[in-house]
Amino acid sequence: MADRAGRLGVGLIGAGKVGAVLASALGGAGHAITGVAAVSEASLTRADAMLPGVPVLPIPEVVERSELVLLAIPADELEPLVAGLAATGVWQPGQLVLHTAARYGTDVLDPARRAGAIPLAVHPVMSFTGTSIDLARLAGTWFAVTSPAPVLPIAQALVVEMGGEPFVVAEADRPAYAEAIDTAVSFSTAIVDQASGLLGGIGVGRPGAVLAPLVRSAVENALARHDAGPGVEGFADSDGPE
């Protein structure tokens, strides 16, 4: 295993919009991307664009090659995948295993932990396009981090290397955190879609462009009212992905 303070061999399982971008960010921070496991045509195309030259490999081989395994797959697939890999004996002692699902902390990684792996749960509070545009957007983006206390600095350091700002969410609080994230995304998307539809219905051209300054300023004003709310101190600590 490489020195944790140095560079890691990073393997990506799931080249969705989140995974491909985070792996690219880690590669940009100097880590070596050892392989990617992707199945769908969209994921393969995304992997080729965001991680050029990185070999596409079967999942067990990605795990075997990597010191940090990035699991960027839909939340519902996490538990069976981690348990299935544990049954094959591919998890390695001291290996970092990081998932990006909002709703789970590290309990879902227990089969890997029992094999000696180090579990990390890291979720970026950002909506992804799956393109290089996201790399710039990562700068200053908050990441929810859950991990055992002794390895929390590792998770926080990885977030900082990707350009983000880590904040800690307790294991028991992950469901509420996930609900908050889903509420923000669902309501903001629905409101913009509804307002754009109404403007389009009365013949307004480019309703998205017309609404953009209003929506941004309204959201920024609302966020400012909550910027110094309870729990902000924790920030200093710190979609499915497909």
pLDDT in tens, 101-127: 999 999 999 999 999 999 999 999 999
Contact assessment for residue 144 and residue 173, using Cβ atoms and an 8 Å cutoff: no
Residue written as token pair 């990597």: 66
Judged by DSSP in three states, 215 sits in helix
**What's the CA gap between 79 and 172, in Å, rounded?**
17
**Which of 88-102, 107-121, 210-224 shows the lowest mean pLDDT across its residues?**
210-224
**What's the CA gap between 61 and 34, in Å, rounded?**
10
Average confidence score pLDDT of the chain = 91
Contact assessment for residue 147 and residue 120, using Cβ atoms and an 8 Å cutoff: yes
What share of residues in the chain are helix, strand, coil (percent, to 5)? Answer: 50, 15, 35
Domain residue extents for the chain: 9-172, 175-227
- CATH class for domain 9-172? alpha beta
The one-letter amino acid at 119: P
Give the model's pLDDT for residue 226.
Answer: 86
DSSP letter assigned to residue 36: E
The pLDDT tens digits of the residues spanning 12-47 come to 999 999 999 999 999 999 999 999 999 999 999 999
Whole-prediction pTM value? Answer: 0.86
In this model, does residue 232 exceed pLDDT 50? no
Contact assessment for residue 90 and residue 64, using Cβ atoms and an 8 Å cutoff: yes
